[in-house]
DNA sequence: AAGTCGGGGGG
DNA sequence: CCCCCAGACTT
């Protein structure tokens, strides 16, 4: 299979590089080959759209302009810079990797594929992207865009979630990487997938530089590719969220270090949809004096594997409880990173 | 190989 | 609603 793929993508580098020179979008991380900046962009872009990343990227580099600054950054600052971007372990691993670079690599970003791959949070894709873009190594970066482009050009109906299929595609690509233009070829593949050979609807084949040798285009099978596994059904959960106010402060809770939103702050909440009376009773059982209900609201939040149907009760309470952390509105706004699911209730304050 | 881990933009 | 996004890591 690999040999077949190689033959069918043989014309890709020449066609894509010429097209990329004229059609590359100007993106902040394309103005440099500094590995810190390219690495940061690749981590932020994991499962995250370009438009969402732009502002985060610029602000992050403004506040933490060097690897050593990142290695020394307090977690609060780090998470505030990541707040709302999702997949928060990316931020934790980013700092871990920065510390590794300082301690193990003498503060110099590693320059081989294997060393880059060894950093926490860096997998095959990111290592290939950084190595090719920053160090001109023939290391493919096989993301969703590239899988779509290659499976369409070669009309490969193999399920792309299988590691073996990704490896075949990666090896075939590595063999055709153009000397001296490795970074541009990596980016041109992704650019084609992002702007021409797009997901969700018909690709723009009429302007595609590969339409002369694309099998899916020739046979009209673009929409059937790539082949993905069936998606698992999402679970639904009802939750009751407490917005507790006491003496100008708001109650927060620290989530467990494992699992969903690991280690993040949250508004106190419990499983199940409590009535306002049940919620008030629960507060009394937890050691609060009788509480006054101020407002309530319902919000839905959708994660990848679970959906929260949340009912929030805003209570004014007269005494606080030690197991909760009490913060001012200013702290909550400017210092503490609160996941989006809970941010949806802050307008009740 | 299958599950887990956020959030959002667009059909 | 549904799709899937410049994926990585754990089990």
Interatomic separation, CA of residue A198 and C1' of nucleotide C1, rounded (Å): 21
Does the CB of A184 fall within 7 Å of any strand C atom? no
* Whether residue A240 sits in one domain with residue A218: no
Q: Which bases along strand C come within 7 Å of a protein CB atom? A: 3-9
pLDDT for the residue A290 = 84
Interatomic separation, CA of residue A307 and C1' of nucleotide C1, rounded (Å): 14
Model pTM?
0.97
* Whether residue A257 sits in one domain with residue A112: no
Instruction: Inform me whether the pLDDT recorded for A226 exceeds 80.
Output: yes
- A134-158 mean pLDDT: 97
- Cα torsion through A55, A41, A34, A24, rounded to 10: -80
Residue A269 CA: distances (Å) to CA of A254, A275, A312: 11, 13, 9
**What is the torsional sign of CA A136, A93, A308, A276?**
negative
Strand partners, A269: A241
Tokens representing A242? 């407490």
Strands A306-316 and A235-246: parallel
* Whether residue A70 sits in one domain with residue A23: yes
Give the Cα separation of A187 and A145 in Å (integer).
10
- A1-26 mean pLDDT: 92
Give the Cα separation of A150 and A148 in Å (integer).
6
Give the Cα separation of A36 and A332 in Å (integer).
30
3-state secondary structure at position A296: strand
Tokens representing A197? 């050979």
Q: Which residue segment(s) compose the domain that A312 sits in?
A: 235-348
* Whether residue A271 sits in one domain with residue A200: no
pLDDT for the residue A308 = 98
* Whether residue A241 sits in one domain with residue A137: no
pLDDT for the residue A175 = 97
Instruction: Inform me whether the pLDDT recorded for A86 exceeds 90.
Output: yes
Interatomic separation, CA of residue A220 and C1' of nucleotide C5, rounded (Å): 24
Percent of chain A with pLDDT over 70: 100
Within-domain flag for A247 = yes
- A321-341 mean pLDDT: 96
Within-domain flag for A229 = no
Give the Cα separation of A281 and A285 in Å (integer).
6
pLDDT for the residue A289 = 87
pLDDT for the residue A325 = 96
* Whether residue A289 sits in one domain with residue A203: no
From the CB of residue A282, how many other CB atoms can be counted at a distance below 10 Å? 16
Point out the domain boundary residue: A202, A224, A246.
Answer: A224
pLDDT digits (tens, 9 = 90+) for A88-117: 999 999 999 999 999 999 999 999 999 999
Q: Which bases along strand B come within 7 Å of a protein CB atom? A: 1-11
Confidence of residue A322 (pLDDT cuts 50, 70, 90): confident
Instruction: Inform me whether the pLDDT recorded for A260 exceeds 90.
Output: yes
Interatomic separation, CA of residue A8 and C1' of nucleotide B2, rounded (Å): 32
Give the Cα separation of A233 and A158 in Å (integer).
23
Within-domain flag for A24 = yes
* Whether residue A196 sits in one domain with residue A339: no
* Whether residue A171 sits in one domain with residue A270: no
pLDDT for the residue A230 = 86
CATH number of the structural domain spanning residue A255: 3.90.79.10
Instruction: Inform me whether the pLDDT recorded for A6 exceeds 90.
Output: no
Point out the domain boundary residue: A165, A198, A224.
Answer: A224
Please check whether residue A151 is in contact with residue A227, taking contact to mean a CB–CB distance below 8 angstroms. yes
Kindly calculate the radius of gyration of chain A based on its CA atoms and give it in whole angstroms: 24
Q: First vs last Cα of chain A: how many Å apart? A: 60
Nucleotide of closest approach to A264 (CA, C1'): B6
- A7-35 mean pLDDT: 96
Considering its fold, how many domains does chain A have in total? 2
Confidence of residue A84 (pLDDT cuts 50, 70, 90): very high
* Whether residue A203 sits in one domain with residue A91: yes
pLDDT for the residue A15 = 97
Give the Cα separation of A287 and A69 in Å (integer).
43
Catalytic residue among A2, A14, A31, A42: A42
Within-domain flag for A230 = no
* Whether residue A266 sits in one domain with residue A128: no
Confidence of residue A232 (pLDDT cuts 50, 70, 90): confident
Q: Which of residues 120-179 of A touch strand C (CB under 7 A)?
A: 120-127, 129, 143-145, 148
pLDDT for the residue A291 = 86
Please check whether residue A185 is in contact with residue A132, taking contact to mean a CB–CB distance below 8 angstroms. yes
Catalytic annotation present for A2: no
CATH number of the structural domain spanning residue A179: 1.10.340.30
* Whether residue A153 sits in one domain with residue A117: yes
Please check whether residue A140 is in contact with residue A186, taking contact to mean a CB–CB distance below 8 angstroms. yes
Q: Number of C-alpha atoms within 13 angstroms, CB side, residue A343?
A: 12
**What is the torsional sign of CA A29, A34, A38, A41?**
negative
Tokens representing A71? 């290695």
Within-domain flag for A292 = yes
Strand partners, A311: A240, A298
Nucleotide of closest approach to A145 (CA, C1'): C6
Instruction: Inform me whether the pLDDT recorded for A1 exceeds 80.
Output: no
Give me chain A's average pLDDT, please: 96
pLDDT digits (tens, 9 = 90+) for A266-316: 999 999 999 999 999 999 999 998 889 999 999 999 999 999 999 999 999
Strands A249-254 and A235-246: antiparallel
pLDDT for the residue A30 = 97
Q: Which residues contact A222 (CB under 8 A, 6 or more apart)?
A: A152, A197, A202, A203, A205, A216
Confidence of residue A349 (pLDDT cuts 50, 70, 90): confident
* Whether residue A160 sits in one domain with residue A305: no
pLDDT digits (tens, 9 = 90+) for A118-143: 999 999 999 999 999 999 999 999 99
pLDDT digits (tens, 9 = 90+) for A167-199: 999 999 999 999 999 999 999 999 999 999 999
pLDDT for the residue A53 = 98
Residue A326 CA: distances (Å) to CA of A6, A241, A260, A267, A330: 60, 16, 22, 11, 12
Tell me which protein residue sits closest to nucleotide C7, measuring alpha carbon to C1'. Answer: A46
């Amino acid at each position: 299979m690999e040999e077949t793929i190689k033959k069918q993508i043989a014309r890709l580098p020449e066609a894509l590089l010429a097209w990329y020179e004229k059609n590359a979008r100007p993106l902040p991380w394309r103005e440099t080959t500094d590995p810190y900046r390219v690495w940061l962009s690749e981590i932020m872009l994991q499962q995250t759209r370009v438009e969402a990343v732009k502002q985060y990227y610029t602000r992050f580099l403004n506040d933490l302009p060097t690897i050593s600054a990142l290695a020394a950054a307090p977690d609060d600052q780090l998470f505030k810079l990541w707040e709302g971007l999702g997949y928060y372990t990316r931020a934790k691993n980013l700092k871990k990797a920065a510390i590794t670079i300082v301690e193990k690599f003498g503060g110099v970003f590693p320059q081989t594929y294997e060393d880059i791959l060894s950093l926490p949070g860096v997998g095959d894709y990111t290592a290939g992207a950084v190595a090719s873009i920053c160090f001109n190594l023939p290391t493919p970066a096989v993301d969703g865009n590239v899988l779509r482009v290659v499976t369409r050009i070669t009309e490969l109906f193999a399920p792309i979630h299988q590691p073996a299929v990704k490896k075949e595609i990666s090896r075939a690509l590595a063999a055709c990487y153009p000397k001296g233009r490795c970074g541009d070829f990596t980016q041109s593949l992704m650019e084609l997938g992002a702007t021409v050979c797009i997901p969700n609807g018909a690709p723009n084949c009429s302007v595609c530089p590969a339409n002369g040798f694309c099998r899916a285009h020739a046979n009209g099978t673009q929409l059937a590719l790539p082949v993905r596994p069936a998606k698992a059904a999402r679970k639904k959960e009802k939750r009751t969220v407490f917005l507790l106010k006491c003496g100008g402060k708001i109650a927060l809770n620290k989530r467990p270090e494992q699992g969903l939103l690991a280690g993040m702050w949250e508004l106190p909440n419990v499983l199940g949809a409590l009535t306002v009376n049940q919620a008030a009773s629960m507060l009394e059982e937890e050691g609060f004096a009788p509480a006054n209900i101020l407002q309530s609201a319902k919000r839905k939040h959708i994660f990848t594997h679970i959906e929260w149907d949340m009912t929030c009760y805003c209570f004014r309470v007269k005494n606080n409880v030690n197991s909760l952390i009490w913060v001012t509105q200013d702290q909550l706004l400017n210092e503490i990173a609160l996941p989006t699911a809970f941010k949806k209730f802050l307008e009740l304050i």
